[in-house]
Amino acid sequence: MNILVSINKNDSKCKIFNKNLVDYTVKNLEGQHKLYIYSDVEEIQERFKSRIIEAKSEIDALVKFSKDKKTYMFINRLALCNINMENLIKYHTNHDKEITVVSKNFVKDKSIPIYKLNDKKDIMSVTRKRFADCGIYLFKNNDIDFSKYKNMYSIILDAIKNSKIKGFVHKGYWWTSSNIRRRNNGKSFNAR
C-alpha cells in the first residue's frame, strides 16, 4: 500500500528503546509498503530526501500524494503501537465507505474515546476534537478534494456528515510521542 507519513518536530525527537520513533516507524512500514514522507523538520527532509513530498502543509502534501492513487494510507501522528496492518487494510478494502480511521478501544468508564461509533462501526461523531486530527487514515476511490479543507479534522467532520467513514477498532497499545514523554516525565523512553 502507498503510505504518506507526516513527521512533526515532537515525533522526530522522540526516542524509544534507544531508537528514534521515526526509524522505528519507517523500519516497520517500508518492507511491505511504499513509503512517502512529509515533514517541515529539516533533519527529516535531509535523511529521507528520496521519499519526501515537498509541500507547504500537511494537507498540501496529501493533495499531491493522493493524485492518481486508488487506495492509500495517511499517518500523521507517529506511535509505538501493535496495529495489525494486514487486518486494517483488509477491513478497509472490504467495507463500502471511503475512509477508515483507526480508533483506540478504551476501557469502559476509564476514558472517553475520540470517536463515537455505532454497532456497524460507522463513525457517528467526534467526542474529543483535539485528538481527531491525528492518527491513521485509509482512503479509497480518490473522490476527496483535499484542497478544500484546512486540516484532517475538517475532513473527518465532512465524512461523518456524509456517512463516508468507518472506524477500525484497535484493542492493543498505542503510545504517541506525547504519551511517551508524559509517561516518562519528559524523557526518552528506554527499557531497563
User: Does the pLDDT of residue 192 top 60, yes or no?
Assistant: no
The pLDDT value recorded for residue 16 is 75
Residue of higher predicted confidence among 180 and 164: 164
Domain boundaries along the sequence of the chain: 2-183
Q: What is the pTM of this model?
A: 0.87
User: Does the pLDDT of residue 32 top 70, yes or no?
Assistant: yes
What is the residue-averaged pLDDT of the chain?
A: 84
User: Stretch 43-55: mean pLDDT, rounded?
Assistant: 96
Q: pLDDT digits over 64-77, tens only?
A: 999 989 999 999 88
Residue 178, C-alpha cell as written in the block: 506525547
Q: pLDDT digits over 106-156, tens only?
A: 444 445 567 788 889 888 888 765 555 568 999 997 778 999 999 888 998
Beta-strand pair 19-20/34-39:
unpaired
CATH node for 2-183 = 3.90.550.10
Dihedral angle over CA of 106, 107, 110, 111, nearest 10? 10
